[in-house]
Amino acid sequence: MKTSARNAFRCTVAEVRQGAVNAEVILNLTDTVTLAATITEESIRDLGISPGQAVTALVKASFVMLATGEARPTVSARNRIPGTVAHREDGPVSCEITLDIGGGKVLTAVVTRDGADELKLQPGAPAWALFKASHVILAVD
């Protein structure tokens, strides 16, 4: 599978929380970090999503917001993933920030250069990747 999403994570389904229209799928991203995806009940059925199943979670880099600091941010975004800035690539308007999130995985965000400068996002700095559960797309083999 080829995709334009910069973030493609191989995960295992930990839990499926059923709803009337949508379901929340909790995924084991690393040994210590989970990821939440909100998809329709129809997609749950069509993809055969169930606990223990391997899935690929896709998140576009432009969907990822960043925050700094050691403390877990208080925001409405369901996914708050801690990491360390591993790489920063500056463009005239935007920056690509790569976070090491542990477990041999990295997460990429594209943010404005002004925002990256204001947050002092430099290699080695602690940071949080923030994105909504509805921004996670699931794929199965």
Q: For 102-113, what is each residue's pLDDT tens digit?
A: 999 999 999 999
Instruction: Classify 61 as helix, strand or coil.
Output: helix
For residue 40, what are the CA distances in angstroms to 16, 28, 44, 138?
Answer: 11, 20, 6, 11
Distance of CA 36 to the CA centre of its chain: 9
- The tokens describing 120, both together, are 């002092």
Question: Quick one: average pLDDT of 40-49?
Answer: 96
| Domain boundary assignment for the chain | 7-59+133-139, 61-131
Q: For 111-139, what is each residue's pLDDT tens digit?
A: 999 999 999 999 999 999 999 999 999 99
- The tokens describing 85, both together, are 């800035």
Task: Pick one of 2.40.50.100, 2.40.50.140, 3.40.50.1010, 3.30.420.40 as the CATH number of 7-59+133-139.
Answer: 2.40.50.100
CA dist., res. 10 & res. 40, Å (int): 20
* Element containing residue 114 per DSSP (H, E): helix 113-118
Range with the poorest average pLDDT among 29-33, 91-95, 111-115, 116-120 = 29-33
Let me know if the fold of 7-59+133-139 is the same as that of 61-131.
Answer: yes
Averaged pLDDT score across all residues of the chain: 95
In this predicted structure, what is the pLDDT of residue 28? 97
Into which CATH architecture does domain 61-131 fall?
Answer: Beta Barrel (2.40)
Specify the amino acid at residue 139: A
In this predicted structure, what is the pLDDT of residue 63? 97
Q: Strands 7-17, 94-102: parallel, antiparallel or unpaired by DSSP? A: unpaired
